[in-house]
Chain A
Amino acid sequence: MPRIFSKAVRGHYSPGDVSSALPVERATSKAKDHALDEKLQPLPEAPKTFPMGTGREISTSLKLLCDHPDLLPKKSDREPWCLPILRTEALLRLSEDYIAKTQTFYDSCSMPPGELDEDVEARALKMHGLTLDDVVSYRDAASNLDLEQRADIFFLRANDRLFRPRADLGGKKLHGTVHRIDPLGTRPVELGDILSMPRALVVASTSS
């Protein structure tokens, strides 16, 4: 159930290329987007410090946030314009507010609606002075980041490592070593051997 296809990687870029796509006039505009204002709920107040070791109970989201120092802001003049927004979006995706919404669907074994993704994306844009008009260029810029930059953003990193939607298997013999679970234990097996039966339906899935 990977949720970010709008920012699937498209290629590499050399530092500086993306800056030409920066919607400067919008990035610096303080104009209000009233439609967006009505859609957005108040953001949770960001903690000024993480109460690690103070004896206070720390929320699951804050623990996660503490585990992701890669999302902390970095100062760089040459940083692509979309990266700070992606970090904000990533932090919003770790917030209790967002996870409380997705959890309702996740725990009932259904996929959270795409509107939740769009909402958190819109919030991140708004926090950086952008509007929904910028969402296409934002997604394009994220898609054009190189893999090293995308690796800082957890929801892009997961897709980049594992998601291969264009893998064409039609007419191909399957190979690879997997592990078969039997009542007596687990043993490595070769896919080509165990699937050499006349017919089989393979269901490959995560549990989430």
Chain B
Amino acid sequence: MYLCEAHAADSWPLSTNAPRNHRCLEERVSAAQAFLQKWQSLKDVVDMVLVDAMDDSVTISLGLWPERFLLIEQGIAKWASSFEDADPEDMVHELSDLALFWPL
């Protein structure tokens, strides 16, 4: 699920190459597709590509920004990463442990 940018050029720039904030859904969809083109290995394993609506309502209500990983079972969140999971390696281990009991 692709969300609004964290460091867009016109809101919180960290690079002169940062993208601008999406001004319409079409721009957001195009940005999501460009993102997946850049990360082909991710694109190869996703079953479904989603983007949040322009009011960012799901991003805000579910606390997804700037990134969050969720394990879902029958529509119910069984596990969600927290922002304290700063080290990607820790999260990989945590996910691996979960997968032992709950293989995807």
- The answer to whether A176 touches B16, judged by C-beta atoms less than 8 angstroms apart, is no
- The answer to whether B50 touches A158, judged by C-beta atoms less than 8 angstroms apart, is no
Which of B18, B56, B61, B63 contacts A106 (CB under 8 A)?
Answer: B18
Surface stretch bound by B, among A38-46, A70-78, A186-194: A186-194
> In the complex, how many angstroms separate the beta carbon of B10 from the nearest chain A beta carbon?
7
Which of B16, B50, B64, B66 contacts A180 (CB under 8 A)?
Answer: B50
| C-alpha gap A94/B7 in the complex (Å) | 12
From B38, which residue of chain A is reached at the shortest CB distance? A207
- The answer to whether A107 touches B72, judged by C-beta atoms less than 8 angstroms apart, is no
Interface string of A152-163 (1 = CB under 8 A from B): 001100100111
Tell me the A136-176 residues at the B interface (CB within 8 Å): 154-155, 158, 161-167, 169-176
From A207, which residue of chain B is reached at the shortest CB distance? B35
- A contact residues around B73 at 8 Å (CB): 198-200
**Which size bracket describes the interface of B in this complex?**
35 or more
The answer to whether A165 and B1 touch (CB under 8 A), given A180-B50, A191-B58, is no
| C-alpha gap A39/B29 in the complex (Å) | 44
- The answer to whether A162 touches B59, judged by C-beta atoms less than 8 angstroms apart, is yes
- Enumerate chain B interface residues (CB-CB to A < 8 A): 1-19, 25, 29, 31-33, 35, 38, 42, 46, 48-53, 56-80, 82-83, 102, 104
- Enumerate chain A interface residues (CB-CB to B < 8 A): 1-2, 5, 60, 64, 67, 94, 99, 102-103, 105-107, 112, 154-155, 158, 161-167, 169-181, 186, 188-189, 191-192, 194-208
List of 5 A-B pairs having minimum Cβ-Cβ separation, nearest first: A167-B63, A164-B63, A176-B58, A106-B15, A103-B15
